[in-house]
Each structure stands twice: as C-alpha cells, then as structure tokens.
Structure 1
Amino acid sequence: MFKGCTVALVTPFRDDEEVDLDALGRLVDWHVEQGTPTISPVGTTGESPTLSHEEHERVIATVVERAAGRARVMAGTGSNATSEAIRLTRFAEKAGADGALLVAPYYNRPSQEGLYAHYARIAEATDLPLVLYNVPGRTARNVEPETVERLCRVARIVAVKEASGSLDQVSEIRLRTDLTILSGDDSLTLPMLAVGAEGVVSVAANLVPAEVIALIDAFERGDLADARRRHLALFPLCRDLLAIAANPIPVKTAMGLLGRIDGRMRLPLCPPGIGEVDRLRATLRRQGLLRD
C-alpha cells in the first residue's frame, strides 16, 4: 500500500520556534495538488527528536485531518523506547493515520533479538500497517536482513524503508522477503528500484514531488532511458540535500529560499553557513526552482 513516492515531510516553525500548524496544513494541500500519494510527518526530516510528545501528536493529527483521505498518511512513531513507540503508534491509529513508520531504536544499540522483540511488541499493540525504518548512520545499529526476514512473518509489518546505503542489503531483503522495500536515500532510488525496491521515502519530494513520482513511473513502465535521465536530472539536488549539512537543514533552507516556509529549525540544528547557502541557491537555480 505504500509503493511509489512518500514525502518525508518537514515540520515548519514560526519565528517563536512554535510549530506552524497553518504552514503545515498548506504543505499538505500542496502535496495533494502535486499528486504525492503518501505523506510521512514527524520522521527524522520532520525533526521528531526536538518535538515534545504533545507537538508530535498534534502534527500527526493535523496532517491526517488536512489530508482528509486525499493522500495516505504514514506517521513517524518510532522511538528508542518500545513503550513510547507503542504509545505514539496507538495515537496515530486513533487519529486516523494509514500506517506508521518506525525508526530502529537509536543510541541504546539493541541486539538483533532486541530489534525483533521491539518491532514484534509494537505490532501486537496496533492494527496499523507498519513500516520498518533502517538507518544505521543515525541509529548506530543495522537491522540485518535475517532480522527483517523474521519480522516479515509478523502480522501488520508490510514494508521496510532501507537507508543503509547498501544495494547488497536491499538485494538480500528482496531475496528473503516479500515486504515492500522503500529507498531511504533519494540519490539511490533508481538503483534500488533496479534490485527490487518499489518506491522511496523522499526528502527531495518536499521540493519536487512531481519529478520524484515521474522517475518511479518511468521505471515501472519499463522506460529505463527516461528513468535514468530523470535520475541524473535530480541527482545534483539530491546530492546537495545530503552533502551540505545534516538532514533536514538543507531542505528546510531550500524551502525557505523558495518562500514555501520559514526555513528555521530547532537547536541543536542550526542554519548552514553562507557558502553552503550559496551552493544550495545555485543548485536551486540550475534545477529551475529559483529565479533571480
């Protein structure tokens, strides 16, 4: 159910650093207009680590209410505490989300058995479709393909967002399971599609959802030349959204430059330097997104 393009939605803030729910609603409307099939609020890109529990829930509820069935909502409900992930997932279910995205527990570095038990316990506590999220660069622990294979037999686990950067790992998961595999790295979407992925949870889609959708569509209809052309056209933007600073600093800065939101973020994240902003501005111009 989560094949294709899912936008990893940013969380806009006002100048007092409060969540800007009006701007958030406008982003949801814009994605519906752009044809984005799935919206994923309060993941890493949505700055979930710096939102309070109340804010986290308010963002999920706002996105679900504003989407109003016009796009699916895959709510970020992961935590490094299993009890907290269960609480957030139950809230998302009650709010009307279509599914939950569950980042692997971060910092405490559980064993593979601990990872399995974490996800299995959450699955027991909800009826929502669940998407595993493996991002070892952030969590310091890889969810191994063998563990994903065990979890694919757990009811309600339907997909995995794979952000290890390893095509071998994607291939291994494809061999072992029938889960929907989603790229967690925009620059690897096309290579991952080639080895069995079926979509992406995209940061770049905050800026260019139609282009990300078109790349996936081209691959699905077998037009590899068009898919490659679209991949290469998007690659400079995808590269700079990762290379300039930690996500979501570049994408929020870009959205600020384009006037879509106030580009501020919460500490400990801070704006990039002048050189990085100039590089990002030049990339946006080359992509035809920003005009003088």
Structure 2
Amino acid sequence: MNWQGSIVAIVTPFNKDGSVDYEALYNLIEFQIENQSDGIVVCGTTGEAATLSKDEYREVIKFVIAKVNKRIPVIVGTGSNSTATAVENSKMAESFGADAALVVSPYYNKPTRKGLKDYFTQIANAVSIPVIMYNVPGRTASNIPADLIVELANENENIVGIKEASGNLEQMACILRDRPVGFMVFSGDDAMAFPAVCLGADGVISVIANLFPKEFHDLMEAALTGNLIKARELHLKYLNIIQLCFIESNPIPVKTGLSLMGKVKEEFRSPICRMEDQNRGKLLVELQKLLVQTSTYMSRIEEL
C-alpha cells in the first residue's frame, strides 16, 4: 500500500427537510474522481458524522463505497469516544468493502497513554483492513505522542498511517524520522500540507479539496515529485481560501462554498449552523477571485 496525494474529506449534503441528499453526494463523488482526488474519506469531521444517526451513518458509507466502486480508495471515519463503538464501526466499514478505517483518538474522555494504546490496538485487532490513526488535539482534547504513534505502527501490522492534525511540525518531523518503512503520514491541516510533504509526508487528508480537487491534487503531486516552485506557487495561491475555510468551525465554510458553487444545499445539522453573513461575504469574494482564474469552474462564475 502506497497511498499518496490529496485525499478529500468529503462533506455530507443534506436536503431542506434534513435528510441526506444522495443525489448531491453522488455528484460530489463524481466531481472528486473527475478532478483527480487520490481518495475519499467519508463520515469524518467534515462529513458531520457526529450528527448522523446510526442508520444514516451505515447508509452513507454503503452508498459512497458502492458509487466509487474501487476507482479510488474509500476511507471510512470509524473512531469514537467508546472503544466498543469504534470497533463496531470499523467492522461495519470492513464488511461494506472500505479500503481503510480512519480512527480518530477518543474525544472528550481524554485517555491516558495506556488508554490510547489499548483503544487503537483493540480496533486494529478487530479488523483486517488498514487502520489510519487520526490525531486532532483541537477537537479531542488530547494529543497522541509521536513515540506512541511509532510504537503502535511497529506493533500492529495493519496500523498503516496517521492523519496528523496537531499543527505541530516538530511532532510530524519526529514521526517521519522514526516511522517504520511503509507507514504513511498525511497532513490533517490544508495550510500545512505543503511543508509537511517537504518534510517527507505522503500528502493530505483535505477539506479544501471539496472546492478545488484538481488544484490540490496538482499541489500535492508537484510537492511529492520535487517540483517545489510549482507547489509553493499553488500553496500561496490557495492559502487565503484555506484560511477562510477555517474562519468558522469546519465544515461550515467549505459547505457554504460548495453551496455557492451550486453543488450542495446550504443545509447543516444542528449544532452546526449557517455561516455568519460577514464571513460568508469574505468567502464569496475569494471564491469568485479564484474561480475566475480556474478554467475548470468557469461555467459557475456568472451564477455566483
């Protein structure tokens, strides 16, 4: 296994009545594949998985895996603050044909190092598909130490990677220095994807790729192949929209951006809510500027 590049953490579109908009979800999948995203994460943070019912979670996973049909990898978000639930979710994802499980560290309960190790080990032992750990202290309130990440990778054959979203390049560098051969490291922050790949990371699990899949694929491809001038140019070009996509809690801005592009309805699950008007205006201005420069999206400009 050698997954690299830009893997999109896809949104879950909703209808006005609150139900999942499967037509829009299908169109988003095709949009991502046509524009060369290197993989799809479904039911992650950006997919508002925490607000889906158990039945909805199951059906969205099944739908995405079926529609992608092995054209690119599908990675399912299966983590939980309960080890038993994370195990159940991971087994379910495996049974539906997922290519890997993305397992966030337990949120809210702030486990100790021993608890973190037990959590990831139990999940890895319960399934045969690859497991990618997900470290995002800003949401979970606890950090997975670099040496524990490496320890888990060495002790569990199917723990094959980490989505590292600590915002700490030194921690990422330590993982990259000490990781076993074949262990994948993905930036969990779009703004740090370029410097992370320069350090040796394998790519990014991206929010901004929902809006600009081809451009973020090209950025990662350029960085991974050593074309740092092109990669830096793309990084700086899209840095402002990346920052605006986190001006409010993810996925509020990116989903708003998709609605402005006519790809989803501007619908969220409470407590996620619509974007503040002032921030929405800033996002619209930057989208218009970038879309004018991007031939892929010229057909959408006059409608914005």
Please give the TM-score of this superposition, normalised by the length of structure 2: 0.94
Establish whether residue 272 from structure 1 lines up as the match of residue 272 from structure 2: no
CA RMSD of aligned residues (A): 1.0
SS at the partner of 2:142?
coil
1:8-67 per-residue CA deviation (whole Å, 9 max, x = no partner) reads 000000011111122111211221111212110000000011111111111110000000
Residue 234 (structure 1) shift: 1.1
Post-superposition Cα deviations, 1:255-281, rounded to whole Å, max 9, x if no partner, equal 001100112111001111111111110
- Answering whether residue 149 of structure 2 is matched by residue 148 of structure 1, we say yes
Task: Tell me, in whole angstroms, the C-alpha distance in 2 between the residues paired with 1:18 and 1:258.
Answer: 21
Structure 2 equivalent of residue 231 of structure 1: 235
Number of positions where the alignment pairs a residue of Structure 1 with one of Structure 2: 291
Task: Select the residue among 226, 241, 255 that pairs with 1:252.
Answer: 255
How big is the shift at 1:107? 0.1
| 1:194-235 deviation line (CA, Å, top 9, x unaligned) | 112111000000010111111111112211111110100111
Q: Tell me the amino acid that sits aligned with residue 66 of structure 1.
A: K
- Distance in structure 2 (CA, Å) of the matches to 1:130 and 1:2: 13
8 Å CA contact 1:12–1:19 kept in 2: the answer is yes
CA–CA separation in structure 2 for the residues paired with 1:218 and 1:3: 12
Instruction: Please tell me whether residue 263 in structure 1 is matched to residue 263 in structure 2.
Output: no
Matched with 1:187 is 191
Unmatched 5+ stretches in structure 1: none
**C-alpha distance in 1 between matches for 2:185 and 2:126:** 23
User: What SS does structure 2 have at the residue aligned with 1:13?
Assistant: coil
Q: What is residue 301 of structure 2 aligned with on the other side? A: 291
Return the alpha-carbon distance in structure 2 between the equivalents of residues 134 and 47 of structure 1: 17
> Matched residue of 1:201: which SS?
strand
Percent identity between matched residues is 39
Contact 1:170 1:196 survives alignment (8 Å)? no
**Quick one: which amino acid aligns to residue 265 of structure 1?**
F
Point out where structure 2 has 5 or more consecutive residues left out of the alignment: 292-296
Task: Give SS of 1:222's match.
Answer: coil
List structure 1 segments (4+ residues) > 3 angstroms apart after TM superposition.
Answer: none
1:117 aligns to 2:121 (yes or no) = no
The amino acid across from 2:301 in the alignment is R
CA contact (8 A) 1:6 1:201 kept: yes
* 1:186 counterpart letter in structure 2: D
